[in-house]
Chain A
Amino acid sequence: MSKCRRNLLLATLLAAPLVATPALAEKYGLGREALPEEINAWTVEVFPDGKNLPEGSGSVADGEKIFADNCAACHGDFAEGVDNWPKLAGGDGTLANKDPVKTVGSYWPYLSTVWDYAHRSMPFGNAQTLTVDETYAIVAYILYSNYLVEDDFVLTKDNFLDVEMPNADGFIVDNRDEVEVPKFSEAACMSDCKTDVQITKKATILDVTPNEGNGEDTAAADTATETDTAQADTAEAPAQDAPAAAEEAKAEAAPAESLSADPELVAAGEKVFKKCKACHQVGEDAKNRVGPVLNGLIGRQAGTADGFKYSSAMKQHGEDGLVWTEQTVEEYLADPKGYIPKNRMSFAGLKDPEDVKAVLAYIESQGG
């Protein structure tokens, strides 16, 4: 008891006023002052009025190239969206339709949000790597894809606020308190509230519910939606073919000393693979996603994973004889854009050869 009291006393001495409970605006003297460099490093969000927007510029023409390299794998060459990835263009005039298409052009109210999001959160799996000018260029290209600017347009800090967003006036502040709450706050009916209750809609007609397996529902869900999205079709095919390809590759190019024989290396590789798995899958149920399946990678000719839509640059390198080995993967990952210019992989790479070795061990352990 006395010990507790002493602690309390110490605590209250630390905080100026001598009270047992925290008083309003009492300071504890904890933390330290943030340095200007630190505040600048993290305070990068851009406001609708242009606050925090850095000096810079980018053209539609430059944006087209940068978009193709960094964004098109998911968003499509024309920002039209691949599979379930977001569409950034189109959808004009669809907001009142049954299935509105919400894009930068049809929906987003502020251009600042586009710039801010691309700059801070994109590319997916490689965020915060675009330069200021690259971001301006990408945003310019997205505007162009939405027919909001001409092909010779250059977006700058100075003309940023001149761009008119079509749906800028399309939003109202939450009005549920006025429109809904009074209506839904009436005394609830308890008996004879309605007659002749009929079932009007059933979930089983759609049949899109995943199976109840333990962790195996993803595959089940894909099957269930084959009619629903084209994505299922493209995703299914490689899943069947990949194991066969992996078998072939193994037979041909089984390395003398297997990297995957070292469990520690495999475990390290699994961690490294986190950087890859936003786009790549490996293992029994692996499918092509943003990037190709990595089953059977070692010994595979570049640009030949079944069913994957490669850049022409990657395909060309494969046709010219590039085969993935520990050495070529290491060279490629050291500088993906330098090793194969114009390839689609928007990944900065793995600079440390040990990381490459580890990740290859992991890929191999997964049937790669």
Chain B
Amino acid sequence: MDDKERQGNPATNAALSRRGFLRAGAAVGAMAAGAGAARAQTQPDPLITEVQPWASGWGDGVDATPYGLPIEFEDDVIRRNVGWLTADTISSINFTPIHALDGTITPTGCAFERHHSGAIELKKEDYRLMINGLVDKPLVFTYEDLERFPRENRTYFLECAANSGMEWAGAQLNGAQFTQGMIHNMQYSGIPLRTLLEEAGITNLGDQIKDKWVYAEGADASSNGRSIPLEKALDDCLVAIKANGEALRKEHGYPVRLVVPGWEGNMWVKWLRRLEVTDEAVQSREETSKYTDTLADGTSRKWTWVMDAKSVVTSPSPQMPIKHGKGPLVITGMAWSGRGHITKVDVSIDGGANWQEARLAEPGVDKAVSRFYLEIDWDGSEMLLQSRATDSTGYVQPTKDALRAIRGENSVYHNNGIQTWWVKENGESENVEVSS
């Protein structure tokens, strides 16, 4: 694969213009397949030589779309559901189109959804948050009350514990959207949970804080509730009222959701209505019968909250074939860790035999998504493309086989194994696994 020999490949029309990745040039299809990477244009490009309608007439006026959606040409960049995964769409999940996105912030409108009883419509006026249990004074807040507390802006990833869960027994779904798309990364504006708990008063607990819990409960019909150690609640949790600068979307818990940085998405209770400080974990349905990880011998791990470091190449990938043939190729992907920030991402094009360090677009951010790039000169031969994340604790993303050696195949949750895309000579990719 280090063979840098460049030959024209008429079969795949692998011509690449060094003057730029001009779609216009490709559309004309008149580029000669020469020996070099640079191509000479023999016919003038009408997109350049002829006056186009958009260069002559009007476009839309302001206010054509009071709240904008992406342009119609991008209408395939959408959340998608896998119908056979769940019994219906009310208690179900869909997937972020991570294959088509770049940067680190997930556009809110395509950030995946997971509901247990559907996305409810709860007005700010009807919103109440109760804090009760082992506090000095049980309190009720309105939405307006929450707006009067000092708030912070922090960016975090939210990953469903079941992300990649369908891949435990082997490669199943053909696309990064489906294999790793139960994730989004947003900037939250919210009140530190510590502030609210202190408003209700927890000084009575003294040094018992280590043994206490906060039970967080949602207002929807599923009453999704999770027990969170009080130490975590006081550490970095937020009660979020905005995401990516605007009100939370209905599907993400409008008007208020809990943010539990680095921990599994199910704990980020949406439509948050109650926080109860307790002596013990509630052992609710979502922390016993679900979100527990069964090992090969039949015993199950519970309270597996933190999301292990993980990464995936988002392009090229099955939904993002290479269409330009050999030559300069941008390999990109995302990496994240629930234990800290990403310090390094390595990329292999030979199925994990040899690795090279990718470029992080920005320094890693605590419990947030990092974007990585590796620019290569693709020789047009097939690749077994992988990425491997390392986080600030020194944890290195393991192979799927290494995970299975410890957990077996029945865990469902917390599959952070290395993903392999088999990129073929024609630029198409497939989800595969490779030998260790």
Residues of chain A lying within 8 A (CB to CB) of residue B297: 96
Cβ of B24 to closest chain A Cβ, rounded Å: 24
From residue 212 to 260 of chain B, which have CB atoms closer than 8 A to chain A? 215, 217, 221-223, 225
Q: Which of A34, A47, A181, A274 contacts B280 (CB 8 A)?
A: A47
CB pair B91–A27 under 8 Å, yes or no, is: no
CB pair A170–B352 under 8 Å, yes or no, is: no
At the interface, yes or no: B273 with Cβ under 8 Å from chain A? yes
Residues of chain A lying within 8 A (CB to CB) of residue B366: none
CB pair A174–B282 under 8 Å, yes or no, is: no
- Please measure, in the bound complex, the distance between the C-alpha atom of A31 and the C-alpha atom of B145, giving whole angstroms: 6
Most buried by A among B300, B351, B402: B300
Most buried by A among B88, B174, B300, B435: B88
At the interface, yes or no: A193 with Cβ under 8 Å from chain B? yes
- Please measure, in the bound complex, the distance between the C-alpha atom of A134 and the C-alpha atom of B217, giving whole angstroms: 23
Residues of chain A lying within 8 A (CB to CB) of residue B90: 124-125, 277-278
Please, what's the 1-or-0 string for A162-194, where 1 marks a CB less than 8 Å from any CB in chain B?
000000001111111001110111101111111
CB pair A203–B130 under 8 Å, yes or no, is: no
Residues of chain B lying within 8 A (CB to CB) of residue A284: none
CB pair A116–B390 under 8 Å, yes or no, is: no
Q: Smallest CB-CB separation from B95: which chain A residue? A: A210
Residues of chain A lying within 8 A (CB to CB) of residue B353: 191-195, 197
Total CB contacts across the A-B interface at under 8 A = 288
Q: What is the interface residue range for chain B against chain A?
A: 35 or more
CB pair A96–B298 under 8 Å, yes or no, is: yes
At the interface, yes or no: B328 with Cβ under 8 Å from chain A? no
- Please measure, in the bound complex, the distance between the C-alpha atom of A232 and the C-alpha atom of B433, giving whole angstroms: 28
Residues of chain B lying within 8 A (CB to CB) of residue A233: none
At the interface, yes or no: A151 with Cβ under 8 Å from chain B? no
CB pair A24–B175 under 8 Å, yes or no, is: no
At the interface, yes or no: A202 with Cβ under 8 Å from chain B? yes
CB pair A221–B298 under 8 Å, yes or no, is: no
Q: Which of A84, A117, A181 contacts B87 (CB 8 A)?
A: A84
Residues of chain B lying within 8 A (CB to CB) of residue A170: 298-300
From residue 199 to 215 of chain A, which have CB atoms closer than 8 A to chain B? 199-204, 206, 208-210, 212, 214-215
Cβ of A73 to closest chain B Cβ, rounded Å: 11
CB pair B215–A202 under 8 Å, yes or no, is: no
- Please measure, in the bound complex, the distance between the C-alpha atom of A110 and the C-alpha atom of B292, giving whole angstroms: 14
Residues of chain B lying within 8 A (CB to CB) of residue A202: 171, 422, 430-432
At the interface, yes or no: A272 with Cβ under 8 Å from chain B? no
CB pair A127–B117 under 8 Å, yes or no, is: yes
Q: Which of A45, A188, A191, A200 contacts B284 (CB 8 A)?
A: A45
CB pair A209–B174 under 8 Å, yes or no, is: yes
Cβ of B37 to closest chain A Cβ, rounded Å: 27
- Please measure, in the bound complex, the distance between the C-alpha atom of A180 and the C-alpha atom of B407, giving whole angstroms: 10
- Please measure, in the bound complex, the distance between the C-alpha atom of A21 and the C-alpha atom of B132, giving whole angstroms: 26
Cβ of B88 to closest chain A Cβ, rounded Å: 6
CB pair A210–B82 under 8 Å, yes or no, is: yes
CB pair A197–B351 under 8 Å, yes or no, is: yes
Residues of chain A lying within 8 A (CB to CB) of residue B355: 188-191, 193
At the interface, yes or no: B4 with Cβ under 8 Å from chain A? no
Known: A127-B117, A176-B304. A206 touches B172 (CB 8 A): yes
CB pair B140–A113 under 8 Å, yes or no, is: no
Please, what's the 1-or-0 string for B413-436, where 1 marks a CB less than 8 Å from any CB in chain A?
000000000100000001111111
Residues of chain A lying within 8 A (CB to CB) of residue B409: 98
Please, what's the 1-or-0 string for B377-410, where 1 marks a CB less than 8 Å from any CB in chain A?
0000000100010100111111000100010011
- Please measure, in the bound complex, the distance between the C-alpha atom of A196 and the C-alpha atom of B353, giving whole angstroms: 9
At the interface, yes or no: B39 with Cβ under 8 Å from chain A? no
CB pair A108–B288 under 8 Å, yes or no, is: yes
CB pair B88–A184 under 8 Å, yes or no, is: no
Binds B, one of A223-231, A258-266, A318-326, A337-345: A223-231
Please, what's the 1-or-0 string for A45-56, where 1 marks a CB less than 8 Å from any CB in chain B?
111110000000
At the interface, yes or no: B187 with Cβ under 8 Å from chain A? no
Residues of chain B lying within 8 A (CB to CB) of residue A25: 198, 203
Q: Which of B294, B384, B396 contacts A185 (CB 8 A)?
A: B396
At the interface, yes or no: A315 with Cβ under 8 Å from chain B? no
At the interface, yes or no: A83 with Cβ under 8 Å from chain B? yes
Known: A173-B303, A215-B78. A113 touches B283 (CB 8 A): yes
CB pair B222–A127 under 8 Å, yes or no, is: yes
CB pair A193–B84 under 8 Å, yes or no, is: no
Residues of chain A lying within 8 A (CB to CB) of residue B76: 212, 214
At the interface, yes or no: A147 with Cβ under 8 Å from chain B? no
CB pair A203–B430 under 8 Å, yes or no, is: yes
At the interface, yes or no: B138 with Cβ under 8 Å from chain A? yes
Q: Smallest CB-CB separation from A187: which chain B residue? A: B396
Q: Which of A74, A85, A192, A199 contacts B434 (CB 8 A)?
A: A199
- Please measure, in the bound complex, the distance between the C-alpha atom of A28 and the C-alpha atom of B191, giving whole angstroms: 13
At the interface, yes or no: B34 with Cβ under 8 Å from chain A? no
Known: A173-B302, A202-B171. A49 touches B117 (CB 8 A): no
- Please measure, in the bound complex, the distance between the C-alpha atom of A27 and the C-alpha atom of B221, giving whole angstroms: 33
Residues of chain A lying within 8 A (CB to CB) of residue B276: 43, 45
Known: A186-B396, A188-B355, A278-B90. A128 touches B406 (CB 8 A): no
At the interface, yes or no: B157 with Cβ under 8 Å from chain A? no
Given contact pairs A172-B300, A210-B83, A214-B78, a sample of 10 additional A-B residue pairs in the complex whose CB atoms are under 8 Å apart? A34-B138, A48-B283, A174-B301, A190-B356, A197-B435, A199-B384, A199-B434, A210-B81, A218-B89, A289-B88
Residues of B participating in the A interface, judged by any CB pair closer than 8 Å: 75-76, 78, 80-84, 86-91, 116-118, 130-133, 137-142, 145, 148-150, 170-175, 178, 195, 198-199, 203, 215, 217, 221-223, 225, 273-274, 276, 278, 280, 282-285, 288-289, 292, 294, 296-306, 308, 318-319, 346, 350-356, 384, 388, 390, 393-398, 402, 406, 409-410, 422, 430-436
What would be 24 A-B contacts, judged by CB atoms less than 8 Å apart? A27-B198, A31-B145, A39-B130, A39-B138, A42-B130, A47-B278, A83-B87, A95-B294, A107-B289, A121-B223, A124-B90, A171-B288, A180-B308, A183-B402, A184-B308, A184-B398, A185-B393, A188-B388, A201-B433, A204-B430, A209-B82, A217-B81, A217-B83, A225-B83
What 9 A-B pairs are tightest by C-beta distance, nearest first?
A221-B83, A96-B298, A95-B298, A197-B351, A84-B87, A203-B431, A127-B221, A34-B138, A225-B84
